[in-house]
Structure 1
Amino acid sequence: MITIKSAREIEAMDRAGDFLASIHIGLRDLIKPGLDLWEVEEYVRRRCKEENVLPLQIGVDGQVMDYPYATCCGLNDEVAHAFPRHYILQDGDLLKVDMVLSEPLDKAVLDVSKLDFDNVSAMKQHTQSYSGGLADSCWAYEVGQVSDEVKNLMQVTKECLYIGIEKAVVGNRIGDIGAAIQEHAEKQGYGVVRDLVGHGVGPTMHEEPMVPHYGKAGRGLRLREGMVLTIEPMINTGTWEIDTDMETGWAHKTIDGGLSCQYEHQFVITKGGPIILTSQGEEGTY
């Protein structure tokens, strides 16, 4: 069911978005060659405990296992949902960090600092029952000096994000978003992932409608004021096709070993146009 969000719900998601954006801003200085990738997960966990925020990805239902971490950390050919792990970042790596976080909570209701994030079943009781404001955003980071191939892929993927958001206006259709993204990416010779899409947000992290990053203009659901959506194009240097790690059921990779990049914002559709709830500052300058 598609729900139109109230002003109260949007304000709560805006608070969550402000906190999540501050995490991505902090990662800009943290991510560099020689860093153990696990420190990204530790950084997010520490900030959540300090500011009483629930990492809502912990405990998400999976086909093989529930998701056990606060972040998804995808390297190079990893498309989405890859686990954070002990890996020393190398000069030239392309890293994507995705997360879903609550708004800062009242400690009298729940003291996040006392939760054991490694106890997935116990965490799931909190994350799956949560019904407040939440935010979802992925950002890509270049590690040290990267190749022109990486730079160009990152630039086009970011352009796809904002081109899609520009199409998310009252009266347009879902297909207008995907068609604009697909046209821009494919003109540059890139593949647009089709198995993973954007979505509605609130009261849970994945709501209707689904928002594909490909499609035909003028097709699909008509967009309305008060919808809160994510657009999160995953753009590959080669084919759009991906494979899944069936041992865990989570990590996706490009099927041909090509690079993949992703940027994601969460936003609300208003009469005056889309308003980004996970903004990190002046859009397009970072």
Structure 2
Amino acid sequence: MRRLPPLNALKAFEAAARHQSFTAAAHELNVTQTAVSQLVKSLEERLGVALFERRGNQLSLSPRGMGYLPAVSDAFDRIAAATAILDETDARQITLGCGPTFAMRWLIPRLPDFQRAHPECEVRLSTTLAVRELQSQSPLPDGVDAAVRLYDPSKPEPGLMADPLFTADLFPVCAPGLAARLKTMADLARETLLEVRHAPGEWRDWLSAAGLGSMVPSSSLSFDFHAFALQAALDGAGVALARRPFVTDDLKAGRLIAPFALSLPKGGAWCLLYRPEAAGGSAFLKLRDWLIGAAMPPTA
């Protein structure tokens, strides 16, 4: 059983601590200054610690109060966020973060299916997540309800849920005409390798796994995002490394060919990331179920 102080006393403490004033806290909570003072005093007595230092008309947090405030404020913030998700208007909207390549090459072509199935839901895409990833920021930035990105479920982050969608394995792809020239892996030495600047080691790792670690390609082209490298591969400019969700449709349609069976495991997976409180939103639950279903490999 949880040992929780009275909620009203916690609210009085949190408001008074933010404002550094019982009077301002009373105005925010629509009660009297005396009521706030009594609630805080009762909380201090219950906890057995002084949360404020009182010097005449001056009010400041004690060291114990300063340590207690962040946890209390965070708890109220989480309750407010979870409550907002349950609101009928908010429950119809969800902001989904993902990188531009995933959005362009897998998600956007499939979103009309979700919209036809759930016209009452509004999905807002935020592709700024890719920039945040490169800057090693939080995998789930503020303002994003859920995100699809590369993640290692074996190393979970506190307060974050993860549903795996796809593997992150890498394999070469190219246009059919170019694929016809690739009889063996060693033939890659005569072709242009399409690289991605923020993932410079991908070709090196794949070639090493293929036993071609010392191979020097005839030429290479470098791009900012995987989406650009894959478009260049579609246009016959060279051979790109791909992850399965990026090229599923092109492989099925024959626009791209995977000339070799070797697929390099990269660890982790493409996952749907979200905070536990997001699971209370109807739009999120519908989108989550749809994403997991759409990511499943087709049955024979």
| Bin of the TM-score, shorter chain as denominator length | under 0.3
Q: Could you tell me the TM-score, scaled by structure 1's length?
A: 0.23
Higher-Rg member (1/2): 2
Q: Could you tell me the TM-score, scaled by structure 2's length?
A: 0.22
